[in-house]
Structure 1
């Protein structure tokens, strides 16, 4: 790392802190392997704590979780993302990282409002009719307080923790450099740079609290005609990067099932409505709440559901959404070849073995089809399929890990409300509707019309494009550029091979030539001929030594 991955001076202090925490939790070998100990001046200088012993009673995955929690919000959120990566990590790590929670202390009101009051140029106490300085909730990025506008609306203020941006930015730079190192060390199949880039983008978006408001309004527009789904209204005059202000949601927290039952709400209806809402976001809108856990949901009168906290959202392209649909239908229709083809396309690698993967997928499908529909867990089915990818050293794209996280949270919440909740049945209408949209007469007619239009445009523009090509060729400006993937590296290797082959031929010629001279001249050689023969043998020995050394150096 120290040789090829430069570090900014301001990041070295944070690197020393991270290294010290990892060493204290028994990951000193990892710190040494990455070269971090050399960068920050040695193991003894980065920590004053006693390093953990591998046999001190905790499993490696437990020590990793504790280390990530101590490292702070950036690494907690990274661990939460990795807890969905069954394609990369063993099940023990997945289960342990799933327990990651932000452990943060609340800030005093005077310390919390420094940055937001500087950005807005006002005193928050004076701006609201009433304001509770006691936190309603606290997270790693922001702290929440209740307030009342001068116009009477009850609202919540979500205020970003001051000074958190430089710390997170330093962490993201370090994660980016570690990803580059992992890529250089031959771990490209895990897509470390892609994971680091997408994680950085997601976390930076979450740091801008105004983004959460834009996400909430986009979802609210989609459910404008659904009265039992409520998204808090945003008050833009008070919202900025450091703070957002939204309606205070009343109702029963989704995490308090006893209170939900006491309120007389229908848990079965709530499970179905909540699943329908999130599945609509995923399959119809392709823009969804990526963290629909009970803490982000409130239940109200008439079995209404309120979603809050749109800081983490996922977005699917139309193509990716269709691939997910094809994958699920491939499992239902026992099309192992189709499922394997989609998995390989997601992995974007030529190293996979399609035949072996298809056989493994076929065994997986046989297991799934042997389970009664009511006992089939969609999230578990997807996780098992992703585990098949891990066994075949195939990695998922980042956007699909967000989707899997949403599926797992959604199905878990649905089964807490209703033990008989069937995620597969809930998703089936959306999947069938999408298949019909893609294969219905209207879609086929539209595609045919677009094909005819594109073909007609190509025919009409072809003469003009040919004339342009001929004009370029006649003026001598036509250039043909062919780029072969990794061609330069292979040409260099071929050049070294030919050089060594040539050297071998020269050495053989020197040995044979010198031997012929000595044999033809008998025992009595003139001084000139003797020198010539000796030089030939000396050159052959020298060249042979060089050739052997070159081959050994390149292993």
Structure 2
């Protein structure tokens, strides 16, 4: 019997805590974690009665007291105790919000997961710090200014140390360095030149591990899927390796297999990169100026895409569809074998040829004129991808270009591609056309459409600076494309213009493409050829066919407006004639404006009500006499106490809204 009573008491206590939590969270009017509210409720239930008894006497029921008066006094005490418990819980929550804001301390489950993850990262942290220290980079993590980097030679030495440290760090850091090597807008030329030498190579993994990966991904052994497959890889990189194979139908293919456990290692390293970026952003000025947190987030998204071979499969299909219309079959991408491909295994057509970096003997046989034609075709294809199809190869370095015996080209490794919307493609086309004609005003307008402009821009100064830049790099003669891109990025930084990730990918692709074009034709001038293409694009836009298509598109868009225009003009004229023309301006038409005003009114109203209730309670406490509820308590005292509690609740609600900075 005693156990049953104890169980019922425990259940009633738990129910009381839950009810108290629900009412307190409702009275506060803001989101408070259930755990924090439950702790406050338990503490309030434990201390509410002793605190109340220290302020007022607990009613004592005696045999001489009238039963009605005793019952009323007990009910008033219980009501006061209940409300007092609510007030104590709310006060505790407000104090907790002042000392430790909600969300600033993780919960028990999050804390346990955090400690497990931290223990898992600790060994990697030590390894990274050891690598940084070995290459002399640890001193740059302290946030101090380093005056020893004022000369080009000193910057080259630091860049060399950084490259070696990234190579020792593994796949994630090698990929990070490769991406940074194309960000001429962020890093000095010494760093981009050194980081461009990073090699994405790795020792091959044993064939048995490759077989296991294929079996896990497809559910079958390689011998069941292919007529034959070469155990020796054609190439081995940090993410995966490639094996030659032949389908049972006879087609020659290559099988790209992801390294086992690479996704887990990359996730761990990306978490470390993100945390290091956050630390550098908090402690150093140069990291905040470069926007390292945004860089880390963009890099993580791109690398995770590269780990999913299904994305590369879809990229190949999209790029192939764009190439089918324009280059006469001179440039191809492998056709994926979709039924045999998955997230970690990619089967694709095997293209004939050798990588561009090792194809000098093939190019030498083709002759100078043919090499120039191949380079023109590649540049025209990339420009068409940028301005027409909107999907383009971001990292078209010589290792990702295959050269056939007849001079045909193949694009490889489409795990990372860029995508441009119609508006960006149109602005990019206008920018290229303006460079081709030397129109600095049109180039400025197009550039401002491409970048993220701040609130105030010196457009006149930007136009003059851009005009000087166009004259400098399009005046004729051999032009260094890398210098042109560096100068353009310097101009963007000088005028505090932000570069969106998709636009940065365009500049990265063009900067990488220049090295590839010069590997095909050492004398190729990317800037001059791009300018010529811009002039051709302007000429084509002024041609009869293009003008006709443009007029049809514009008229198609204007036709519905033109149809409604006479009727609307007639209605306006009729309203003017009869004096009914008026302008209707809706104040606070925007929902955000209405929400701001509503919140201000609500908070002001809560404050006024709290002050009014408090003053009324003080007045009622000062009134002597009046109707008696019990032998010692008057009705005015009960009303004053109630209004005082209402005032306290409203004040606490306003306080927690202000402290949390949330909408009520």
User: TM-score, length-normalised on structure 1?
Assistant: 0.71
Superposed, which structure 2 residues align to 1:257-406 within 5 Å?
A: 257-261=359-363, 263-264=365-366, 266-340=370-444, 342-343=446-447, 346-350=451-455, 353-372=458-477, 375-378=478-481, 380-406=483-509
* Contact 2:141–2:280 (CA under 8 A) maintained in structure 1: no
Rounded Cα–Cα distance in structure 2 between residues aligned with 1:354 and 1:284: 28
Of structures 1 and 2, the larger Rg is shown by 2
1:446 equivalent to 2:553? Answer yes
Rounded Cα–Cα distance in structure 2 between residues aligned with 1:414 and 1:110: 39
Structure 1 residues 127 and 389, CA gap change in structure 2 (3 angstroms): same
Superposed, which structure 2 residues align to 1:171-210 within 5 Å?
A: 171-181=269-279, 190-210=290-310
Provide the residue aligned with 1:504 in structure 2: none
1:23 equivalent to 2:23? Answer no
Give the 3-state SS of the residue equivalent to 2:127 in structure 1: helix
Higher deviation after alignment, 220-229 or 304-313 = 220-229
Higher deviation after alignment, 399-408 or 154-163 = 399-408
Provide the residue aligned with 2:632 in structure 1: none
* Contact 1:74–1:168 (CA under 8 A) maintained in structure 2: yes
Structure 1 residues 84 and 164, CA gap change in structure 2 (3 angstroms): same
What per-residue deviation string (whole Å, max 9, x for no partner) do you get for residues 25-45 of structure 1?
Answer: 2222344459xxxxxxxxxxx
Give the 3-state SS of the residue equivalent to 1:440 in structure 2: helix
Rounded Cα–Cα distance in structure 2 between residues aligned with 1:29 and 1:57: 15
Rounded Cα–Cα distance in structure 1 between residues aligned with 2:241 and 2:427: 39
Structure 1 residues 121 and 293, CA gap change in structure 2 (3 angstroms): same
* Contact 2:136–2:161 (CA under 8 A) maintained in structure 1: yes
Among 196, 218, 223, the alignment partner of 2:318 is 218
Structure 1 residues 259 and 370, CA gap change in structure 2 (3 angstroms): closer
Rounded Cα–Cα distance in structure 2 between residues aligned with 1:287 and 1:58: 35
Rounded Cα–Cα distance in structure 1 between residues aligned with 2:562 and 2:500: 34
Provide the aligned length of Structure 1 versus Structure 2.
449
Provide the residue aligned with 2:161 in structure 1: 63
What per-residue deviation string (whole Å, max 9, x for no partner) do you get for residues 173-221 of structure 1?
Answer: 2333444456666766644444333222211111011221211122222
Rounded Cα–Cα distance in structure 2 between residues aligned with 1:344 and 1:255: 37
Provide the residue aligned with 2:331 in structure 1: 229
Give the 3-state SS of the residue equivalent to 2:241 in structure 1: strand
Rounded Cα–Cα distance in structure 2 between residues aligned with 1:190 and 1:460: 56
Provide the residue aligned with 1:240 in structure 2: 342
Rounded Cα–Cα distance in structure 2 between residues aligned with 1:227 and 1:294: 19
* Contact 1:133–1:145 (CA under 8 A) maintained in structure 2: yes
Structure 2: 5+ residue stretches without partners: 1-103, 145-152, 572-585, 601-664
Structure 1 residues 302 and 281, CA gap change in structure 2 (3 angstroms): same
What per-residue deviation string (whole Å, max 9, x for no partner) do you get for residues 383-405 of structure 1?
Answer: 32112223445442222222122
* Contact 1:191–1:395 (CA under 8 A) maintained in structure 2: no
Provide the residue aligned with 2:233 in structure 1: 135
Among 515, 518, 528, the alignment partner of 1:412 is 515
Structure 1 residues 238 and 429, CA gap change in structure 2 (3 angstroms): farther
* Contact 2:156–2:191 (CA under 8 A) maintained in structure 1: no
Give the 3-state SS of the residue equivalent to 1:410 in structure 2: helix
Rounded Cα–Cα distance in structure 1 between residues aligned with 2:591 and 2:164: 59
Superposed, which structure 2 residues align to 1:437-476 within 5 Å?
A: 440-453=547-560
Rounded Cα–Cα distance in structure 1 between residues aligned with 2:356 and 2:201: 21
Structure 1 residues 344 and 64, CA gap change in structure 2 (3 angstroms): farther
Rounded Cα–Cα distance in structure 2 between residues aligned with 1:479 and 1:359: 41
Structure 1 residues 224 and 358, CA gap change in structure 2 (3 angstroms): closer
* Contact 1:62–1:96 (CA under 8 A) maintained in structure 2: yes
Give the 3-state SS of the residue equivalent to 1:125 in structure 2: helix
Structure 1: 5+ residue stretches without partners: 35-54, 464-472, 489-555
Structure 1 residues 335 and 183, CA gap change in structure 2 (3 angstroms): farther
What per-residue deviation string (whole Å, max 9, x for no partner) do you get for residues 107-130 of structure 1?
Answer: 111133433321221111343221
Structure 1 residues 203 and 460, CA gap change in structure 2 (3 angstroms): farther
1:144 equivalent to 2:251? Answer no
* Contact 2:341–2:347 (CA under 8 A) maintained in structure 1: yes
* Contact 1:86–1:390 (CA under 8 A) maintained in structure 2: no
* Contact 2:333–2:411 (CA under 8 A) maintained in structure 1: yes
Deviation at 1:302, TM superposition (A): 4.1
Deviation at 1:425, TM superposition (A): 3.1
Superposed, which structure 2 residues align to 1:30-179 within 5 Å?
A: 30-33=140-143, 59-179=157-277
What per-residue deviation string (whole Å, max 9, x for no partner) do you get for residues 51-88 of structure 1?
Answer: xxxx9997111111111111111121111111111111
Rounded Cα–Cα distance in structure 1 between residues aligned with 2:290 and 2:595: 26
Structure 1 residues 453 and 199, CA gap change in structure 2 (3 angstroms): farther
Rounded Cα–Cα distance in structure 2 between residues aligned with 1:104 and 1:208: 19
Deviation at 1:288, TM superposition (A): 1.0
Give the 3-state SS of the residue equivalent to 1:481 in structure 2: helix
Higher deviation after alignment, 308-317 or 414-423 = 414-423
Rounded Cα–Cα distance in structure 1 between residues aligned with 2:281 and 2:244: 46
Rounded Cα–Cα distance in structure 1 between residues aligned with 2:105 and 2:563: 53
Rounded Cα–Cα distance in structure 1 between residues aligned with 2:567 and 2:305: 45
* Contact 1:69–1:103 (CA under 8 A) maintained in structure 2: no
Provide the residue aligned with 1:481 in structure 2: 593
Structure 1 residues 105 and 112, CA gap change in structure 2 (3 angstroms): same
Higher deviation after alignment, 160-169 or 56-65 = 56-65
